[in-house]
Each structure stands twice: as C-alpha cells, then as structure tokens.
C-alpha cells in the first residue's frame, strides 16, 4: 500500500461493512474530523481506514462537501494516474460500443462506471466532461489524457454548469480541455430522429441521452397521431414521434434557444412541415391549449427536476401532480399520456402516486401501460439510489 497518502478514519459507529460491500460515499458525520483532516485540500486522494485502523479503500476527499469521501479503488491501489483512468474509461467504452452502433452516448456515468462524480457524454469526435467532484477536478489533466488516448476523440470540453459542482465548492467556468469547441451544433442521430446539440451554450452537456429508450417506447404509440411534447428541450419526444410517423408534433418549452435547436433538428430530419413550437411557461401553455379546446392523441411531459433534494420533495411532488392534471386535460379519450421525472429524491412509488393523483384530479381515469428508466449507458450503482434517477410512466386515458 502507498504510504505517502494521507489517512482518514471512520468513527466507531460508522458502517465500515457498507464500504467493504461497495457503498461509494462516506459522509462528513461518519469521519473522525480533527484539525488535520479538516485541513486536507479538497480533491486530495487518501486512504480510508476503519476504527481498527484497517485500510478500507482509496478515496477522494473534500472536507467542504457533505460527501466527505468518495470511494475510488482498493486501499492498496495507489494514487490514480493516466493509466488508471484509461483502464476505467476503456471498460466503459467497451460496454457502449457493444450497445450502440454510433459514437453518441453517455460514456461515463459517475459512480456506476468507477469514476465518482464524473459525467462524460460523447458526441462523435467530441467529449463533454462534467467533473462534479473535487478529486476529479484535481486530476483533470490525467483524465483528459486518458480519454483522448482511449477514445481517439479530437475535442474535449469541460461543462461546469449544474448544482453538483456548487455543492462541492467548485467553479462554474466552462473550458476547452483538448482540441477545439465545435462552432455549430452537432447533429446527433437517435431512434431515427436527428437532434441538434449545442455543446457550449446548451443545458448540461448539450443533450440528454438518458431518455433514448423512453423515446423508443413512445414511438410505438404515435403512428398517425397528433403529439404534444411539453418541456421539450431540443425536441426530445417530438422529433422521435415524427421519425416514427406521427401526423404532427408541437413542442413546448420556456427556452427559445432550445426550441430553435428543435426546429433545426426537424429541418435536418426533413419533417419541418409537421413540426411546430410554442414558447412559454409549460403550465400556462397547457392551460391555454385547454381553453382553446385543443386535444392530442399523445401528450408527453419531461420537466426539469422539481425535487432535486429531500428538502424539495413535497413541493416537487405537488408540481408533478399539477403537470399530470394539466396534461390529462389535453389527451383525447383513448389517447396516451407520458410523464417523466429526473428527480432522484422522488422515488418511483412517490412519483407514480403524484402522477396518478393528478390524472384523477383532472377527472380522467388511466391505466399504466409502461414504466421506463434511463438507458443502459446510464448504468445504476446498486448501492446508490441517486444513480437511478429517471422514471417515465405511460398511461392510456
């Protein structure tokens, strides 16, 4: 075991067995914190010991975070270097290349791919990295070198947006880490549709790959249908529906740049004549559509995380209920309603209850025909519920 790494120790009542069995996080109230440990620089790699001073794991430490330590490897592995990153990234790449026939996917999904707090999305020869943990920020050069070596990508961008970096005390400065940033949006093929991803000015990494299997399920419902895609971002469900033979798709979003990208996607796909957009607050637009007497064969709502934390859970569930209520009023009799949540704090059961309540409050009755989750390029760490955040419910009303 490397002896030049600092050591941190679990408190006597902390659950060392959980760490031995694969739990990836150690919270600040589980660690013996004296002046020395509090002064460890954020991002330092250390050895975690149990109360008997037996080595448990190699960890990335951040005394400024509620997650004090993130498990990286065995205790005797030594500090991560470029070869260490290359091994992890190579393993993740092998899975994606087996799953997908084109290089457009989430390459690294944090803890589940062995890189805690790190998200990497791939867009052809460009990768967008979100180093959402201090240890990854400190070792960013080694990570990028390995990423270029393993994937052959020409460009690597850093996306510093999002709540997670703030919780770690990290900056919000985007950067070009290798190559150059694409000057125009990147065309991304998915489920027969074409999406335009803005890798420098868009949300998060530029596109959400997680809904791919739920887009595919929705495509089975939309032949000849009028489709409404609410909180559409760059046209997620709407463009997928048009690729599968929908009569029309109306995308609703509060972001004009996102709707402009959706329109570009429709043009690239050759379906502009069946595609339309409406900018505005989703709740307001749904209310106005109902007042106008509009109904649709398929309505799908994919809102942002209304419950990003336990503190926001109750308010978030009320918001999901309101979405279901407003959307239900727009579904014709015998039509289909898709409701999604990317809030890890709202588990499947709570989200399903809120959605079903909202349908009932609209005076509708629905049967649940399908429950969907994120795609296999978003693997779930079995001991980290947060990694299974996405839920999609499809009802027939």
* Positions marked active-site: 342
Contact by Cβ (8 Å): 238, 275: yes
Among residues 186, 162, 161, 159, the alpha carbon closest in space to that of 175 is found at 159
Q: How many other C-beta atoms are found inside a 10 Å radius of the C-beta of residue 224?
A: 9
Residue 219: beta bridge partners?
none
308-315-387 Cα angle (round to 5): 25
Spatial separation of the C-alpha atoms in residues 290 and 381, rounded to whole Å: 41
Among residues 226, 271, 218, the alpha carbon closest in space to that of 248 is found at 226
Spatial separation of the C-alpha atoms in residues 375 and 201, rounded to whole Å: 25
Contact by Cβ (8 Å): 167, 202: no
- Sheet-wide strand order for 296-301: 275-279, 248-253, 226-230, 296-301, 331-341, 391-396, 367-372
Burial of residue 58 (CB within 10 Å: 0-12, 13-18, 19+) is: buried
CA dihedral 125, 391, 119, 5 (to 10 degrees): -150
- Provide the total of helices (H) and of strands (E) in the chain, helices listed first: 12, 19
Q: Any idea which residue has 């803890």 for tokens? A: 111
From residue 242, give the alpha-carbon distance in Å to each of 218, 224, 246. 11, 9, 5
340-316-117 Cα angle (round to 5): 70
Spatial separation of the C-alpha atoms in residues 105 and 207, rounded to whole Å: 10
């Amino acid at each position: 075991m490397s002896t030049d790494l600092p050591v941190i120790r679990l408190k006597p009542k902390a659950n060392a067995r959980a760490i031995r069995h694969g739990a990836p996080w150690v919270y600040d109230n589980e660690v013996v914190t004296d002046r020395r440990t509090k002064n460890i620089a954020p991002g330092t790699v250390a050895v975690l010991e149990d109360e008997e001073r037996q080595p448990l794991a190699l960890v990335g430490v951040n005394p400024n975070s509620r997650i004090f330590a993130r498990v990286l490897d065995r205790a005797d592995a030594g500090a991560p270097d470029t070869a260490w990153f290359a091994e992890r990234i190579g393993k993740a790449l092998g899975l994606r290349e087996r799953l997908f026939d084109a290089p457009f996917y989430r390459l690294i999904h944090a803890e589940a791919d062995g890189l805690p707090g790190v998200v990497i999305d791939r867009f052809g020869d460009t990768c967008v990295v979100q180093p959402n943990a201090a240890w990854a920020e400190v070792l960013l050069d080694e990570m990028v070198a390995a990423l270029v070596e393993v994937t052959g990508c020409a460009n690597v961008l850093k996306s510093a947006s999002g709540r997670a970096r703030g919780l770690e005390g990290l900056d919000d400065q985007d950067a070009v880490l290798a190559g150059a940033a694409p000057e125009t949006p990147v065309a991304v093929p998915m489920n027969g549709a074409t999406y335009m991803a803005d890798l420098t000015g868009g949300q998060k990494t530029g596109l959400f790959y997680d809904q791919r299997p739920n887009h595919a399920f929705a495509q089975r419902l939309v032949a000849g249908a009028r489709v409404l895609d609410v909180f559409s971002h760059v046209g997620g469900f709407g463009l997928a529906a048009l690729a599968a033979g929908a009569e029309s798709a109306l995308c609703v979003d509060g972001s004009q740049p996102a709707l402009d990208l959706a329109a570009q996607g429709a043009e690239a796909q050759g379906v502009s004549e069946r595609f339309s957009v409406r900018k505005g607050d989703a709740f307001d637009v749904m209310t106005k559509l109902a007042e106008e007497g509009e109904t649709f064969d398929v309505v799908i709502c994919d809102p942002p995380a209304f419950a990003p934390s336990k503190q926001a859970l109750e308010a978030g569930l009320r918001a999901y209920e309101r979405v279901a209520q407003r959307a239900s009023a727009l579904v014709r009799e015998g039509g289909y309603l898709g409701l999604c949540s990317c809030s890890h704090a709202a588990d499947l059961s709570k989200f399903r209850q809120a959605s079903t309540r909202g349908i009932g409050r609209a005076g509708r009755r629905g049967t649940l025909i399908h429950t969907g989750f994120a795609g296999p390029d978003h693997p779930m760490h079995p001991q980290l519920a947060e990694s299974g955040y996405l839920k999609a419910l499809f009802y027939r009303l």
